[in-house]
């Protein structure tokens, strides 16, 4: 049996009562460290609560899950994921491989950055687009697809959630993301991202030091954010959205 557990965004206290009950009966517990950054000491807190080892697993373990699948054939195994395990392609692929190998898989949904980011800003969820992931670029990798997706969202008057990349356990800074977006504008220039464009930066959502600030692209060039960040580009917000956003998002730059 393989349990794909969503831990939500606020550490182990975000685990549901049902998940807590399942984890108490689990033979092996793994904690995925690849797709997000958990609150500090999460693994230690899990070990203290369930009185057994909790093994961190990285990208290689998830994309090459032979060990986890083999153990799940004969044991009750739980993989805990920050957020909701039903949101990421990575976890759907793991579920597919496990079920294809004869493993029974049970998914436990929880809060996700996909919805929580908009909820904390006051923007309406029915006006959101598909999320856009912004990877760390390099000399040989500077994806135009990111810019094209944002441009299309602007054309359809949809808000854009931009998930910033993680690399070696560290999140992309807000200032880095703004710099990459401006470089894309200069390279592919459709007038989508201007220095005056409004942007919301959400840092460490669910952590004790979470922060949401709003400013222009130009103002955000000097803002680093937190350990893990995402951006929202609000497009043509309604009167109510503007009212909510102005109160819920800190005005650090005004």
pLDDT value of residue 254: 45
**Six token digits for residue 214:** 């709003």
Contact 231, 200 (CB under 8 A): yes
Q: Is the pLDDT of residue 122 over 70?
A: yes
Those residues with Cβ within 8 angstroms of residue 248's Cβ, 6 or more apart along the chain or in another chain: 120, 121, 122, 212
pLDDT value of residue 32: 94
Domain with CATH 3.40.1010.10 in the chain: 2-108
Domain with CATH 3.30.950.10 in the chain: 113-248
Q: Per-residue pLDDT averaged across 168-184, rounded? A: 93
pLDDT level of residue 231 (50, 70, 90 thresholds):
very high
Residue 110 phi, psi dihedral angles, 5° rounding: -160, -175
Distance CA 34, CA 62 (A): 8
Distance CA 177, CA 167 (A): 13
Q: What is the CATH number of domain 2-108?
A: 3.40.1010.10
- Fold of the CATH domain 113-248: 3.30.950
**Six token digits for residue 122:** 């006051």
Residues in the chain, total: 254
């Amino acid at each position: 049996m393989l349990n794909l557990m969503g831990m939500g965004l606020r550490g182990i206290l975000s685990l549901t009562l049902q998940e807590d009950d399942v984890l108490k009966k689990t033979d092996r517990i793994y904690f995925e460290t690849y797709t997000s950054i958990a609150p500090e000491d999460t693994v230690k807190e899990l070990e203290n609560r369930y009185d057994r080892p909790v093994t961190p697993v990285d990208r290689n373990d998830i994309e090459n899950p032979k060990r986890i699948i083999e153990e799940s054939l004969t044991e009750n195994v739980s993989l805990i994921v920050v957020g909701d395990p039903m949101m990421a392609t990575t976890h759907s692929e793991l579920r597919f491989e496990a079920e294809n190998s004869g493993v029974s898989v049970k998914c436990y949904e929880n809060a996700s950055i996909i919805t929580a980011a908009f909820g904390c800003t006051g923007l309406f969820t029915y006006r959101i687009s598909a999320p856009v992931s912004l990877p760390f670029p390099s000399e040989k990798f500077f994806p135009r697809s990111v810019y094209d997706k944002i441009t299309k969202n602007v054309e359809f008057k949809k808000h854009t959630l931009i998930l910033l990349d993680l690399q070696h356990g560290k999140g992309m800074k807000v200032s880095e993301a703004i710099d990459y977006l401006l470089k894309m504008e200069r390279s592919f220039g459709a007038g989508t991202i201007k220095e005056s464009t409004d942007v919301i930066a959400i840092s460490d959502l669910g952590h004790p030091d979470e922060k949401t600030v709003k400013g222009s692209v130009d103002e955000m060039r000097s803002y680093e954010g937190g350990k893990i960040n995402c951006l929202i580009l609000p497009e043509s917000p309604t009167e109510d959205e503007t009212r909510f956003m102005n109160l819920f998002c800190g005005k650090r730059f005004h």
